[in-house]
Structure 1
Amino acid sequence: MSLVKSFSEKIKKNQKKKLQRKNSIISIKNNVDQLYDLIYQVTTNISKNEHTNPLNSFGKKCFSQSDEDGITIEIFKRLKNLNSGSFLELGVGDGTENNTLILLSLGWQGFWVGGSELAFDTSQSKKLKFYKNWITKENILSIINMGLNHLKVKALDLISVDLDGNDFYIVEKILHSGYLPKVFILEYNAKFPPPVEFKINYNPKHEWRNDDYFGTSLESWNNLLTKFGYRLICCNSQTGANCFFIKNKFSKLFKDVPNDINQIYSEPRYLLHKNFGHKKSIELIKQIIDN
């Protein structure tokens, strides 16, 4: 009997030690997460407030990958176009993290195009249309025409593009076809600082492999967009992932923004990307798109 009791006590001690180790690991992980959050917060504030472009100080994350939402809001405040407008976003993932949800929450309407299923149903929304399509330069114009007809508008205020691949060729096709929104938000490959020109070779079947072979350098975007009367005004400083262009006629509203591309460029900080705040809820997004 004493042998059984002794064996039972050993088992209990081992279980207690395992639980203590597990709790220690959880505690260490929580401490590491808190330390990361602190470092991230400090680094983010420094990158925003010490950037040579004052527009970066408005950066804020709501639904965007990082700080693009705050920059978008400031741009359209200056354009006096904040509470109404029409947009197109190419490449929206599952719909829970992109550049135009913030505009939907402000009363805009628009359409999304992407190759993945959304995490929610948009069929009842009166202000958002989703087209599940693999986007190429061969089909982009027909998709845009469908979207414009659905929205019953002839022009767009914003086009956002994040396709991890053939972005340059899609945007080039859009520009040559006369679709000239007030603002472009474009993913750029920040591995290549100005004056390096780079764009991947066109491949309609291209899929990003989580490596550095994607998209377009900032210099190449700038060379293309300036030909069509646009001005580069910002690169988000938190991750160095997206650049913002406006039509030249709005330049007087951005006199504080440097003209030198090197003072606007932000280097890549992809590892700093982190979701702040509470867990994303489908209920919140559904309320935005359905109201």
Structure 2
Amino acid sequence: MTDVTDAVLGRMERLEWLMSQAAAAQGASALVAEDLLLEEQIRKFGPTFLAKYNTHLFSQAYEDAAISEIFARIGTRHKTFIEIGVEDGSENTTRLLLMLGWKGVWIEGNAGFYNRITDTFANEIASGQLQAIHAMAEPDTVQSLIDSANLGPEVDLLSVDIDQHTSHVFRAIQTSARAACVEYNAHFPPAVDYEVPYVPGAAWNGTNWFGASLKRLEVIAAGKDLSLVGCDLMGINAFFVRNDLTEDRFPKPFTAGHHYQPPRYQLIRPHRGHRKLSGEEARTMPR
């Protein structure tokens, strides 16, 4: 019986090894495909293509790289940010900026996430570098929440990602931003100007019916003197820059039809490089 058991266990171990190798190969193939896609996009848009670096430290997708590229081109003025919808701060759009010494406010409606933020980023909060606000950002309340942080009438970066009602909250914000990162719903074709109607208290149900089309965000941003300068490869985030700062720094025309990227959410995984810092590691790391 022992010999049989050992043989069975041996086959299981080999099967597990083969499965791990297959998963690794699949991950490697996905990264190769992603790199080929990136090469194609650079050929299409030229050297000013915004999302041309497949790298990140803390962002879910490659927002870290795109945002860094924006400010490498337009420069910084205040080194301040507003981010609405940050979860627990371990994987969001402005954490890298925070680590680089920027100052800003995070607005998060989930109590559990907020509590982890206040624990992990206690030092930054105590120093005044980061303000964490526990509140649901709604169109009629978001500006008062921002005003309470006293960041002034203009920030360098505004980020909005709250799934269901992102566009409604984005429209309601009066604080000027030199650049913005806003989630769009890539399931809507780029010619469609549409946003899911605002329903107080409604939350995303996990389907493809949420948020707003890229065209609708283009229209909203135009009312804020912002131009659509690019989207990430995953079809998740749209990036905007203030009109007077675009010049020849980004691919034209600044339209949804030109910059649209379809939903490629599968590219979010596998994660490139080493694992991200855990909350405990972030809390105890030297600043």
Report the TM-score, using the length of structure 2 for normalisation: 0.87
Q: Which residue of 2 aligns with 1:100?
A: 94
User: Which of these residues, 32, 39, 45, is aligned with residue 42 of structure 1?
Assistant: 32
C-alpha RMSD of matched pairs (Å): 2.1
2-structure distance, mates of 1:214, 1:95: 23
Counterpart amino acid of residue 97 in structure 2 = L
Distance 1:138 1:163, change over 3 A: same
1-structure distance, mates of 2:11, 2:109: 44
Equivalent pairs counted in the alignment come to 272
Does the CA contact (< 8 Å) of 2:158 and 2:180 recur in 1? Answer: yes
Counterpart amino acid of residue 146 in structure 1 = S
CA drift of 1:242 comes to 0.2
Counterpart amino acid of residue 86 in structure 1 = T
1-structure distance, mates of 2:82, 2:284: 20
Q: Which residue of 2 aligns with 1:217?
A: 213
Does the CA contact (< 8 Å) of 1:185 and 1:245 recur in 2? Answer: yes
Distance 1:103 1:232, change over 3 A: same
Residues 43-93 of structure 1: per-residue CA shift (max 9 Å, x gap)? 2212222113322213422211111111110100111219x6110111112
Does the CA contact (< 8 Å) of 2:153 and 2:176 recur in 1? Answer: no
Identity over aligned pairs, percent: 28
Distance 1:154 1:36, change over 3 A: same
SS in 1 for 2:177: coil
1-structure distance, mates of 2:167, 2:230: 18
Report the TM-score, using the length of structure 1 for normalisation: 0.86
Q: In the alignment, is residue 192 of structure 1 matched against residue 188 of structure 2?
A: yes
1-structure distance, mates of 2:12, 2:275: 24
Does the CA contact (< 8 Å) of 1:55 and 1:257 recur in 2? Answer: no
CA drift of 1:253 comes to 4.7
User: Which of these residues, 214, 225, 229, is aligned with residue 233 of structure 1?
Assistant: 229
1-structure distance, mates of 2:54, 2:182: 16
Q: In the alignment, is residue 111 of structure 1 matched against residue 108 of structure 2?
A: no
User: Which of these residues, 57, 63, 75, is aligned with residue 80 of structure 1?
Assistant: 75
Counterpart amino acid of residue 167 in structure 1 = T
User: Which of these residues, 12, 34, 52, is aligned with residue 22 of structure 1?
Assistant: 12
CA drift of 1:246 comes to 0.7
Counterpart amino acid of residue 156 in structure 2 = D
Q: In the alignment, is residue 57 of structure 1 matched against residue 52 of structure 2?
A: yes
1-structure distance, mates of 2:88, 2:16: 30
CA drift of 1:170 comes to 0.6
Q: Which residue of 2 aligns with 1:171?
A: 170
Q: Which residue of 2 aligns with 1:91?
A: 85
SS in 1 for 2:83: strand
Range 133-142 or range 215-224, more displaced? 133-142
Does the CA contact (< 8 Å) of 1:79 and 1:253 recur in 2? Answer: no
2-structure distance, mates of 1:142, 1:99: 22
Does the CA contact (< 8 Å) of 2:167 and 2:211 recur in 1? Answer: yes
Q: Which residue of 2 aligns with 1:4?
A: none
User: Which of these residues, 140, 145, 148, is aligned with residue 147 of structure 2?
Assistant: 145
Q: Is there any run of 5+ residues in structure 2 with no aligned partner, and where?
A: none
Does the CA contact (< 8 Å) of 1:59 and 1:69 recur in 2? Answer: no
Distance 1:147 1:19, change over 3 A: farther
Q: Which residue of 2 aligns with 1:6?
A: none
2-structure distance, mates of 1:96, 1:72: 17
Residues 17-47 of structure 1: per-residue CA shift (max 9 Å, x gap)? 3422431332123112211221221122122
Counterpart amino acid of residue 135 in structure 1 = A
Residues 209-232 of structure 1: per-residue CA shift (max 9 Å, x gap)? 221121110011111111221110
1-structure distance, mates of 2:178, 2:106: 18
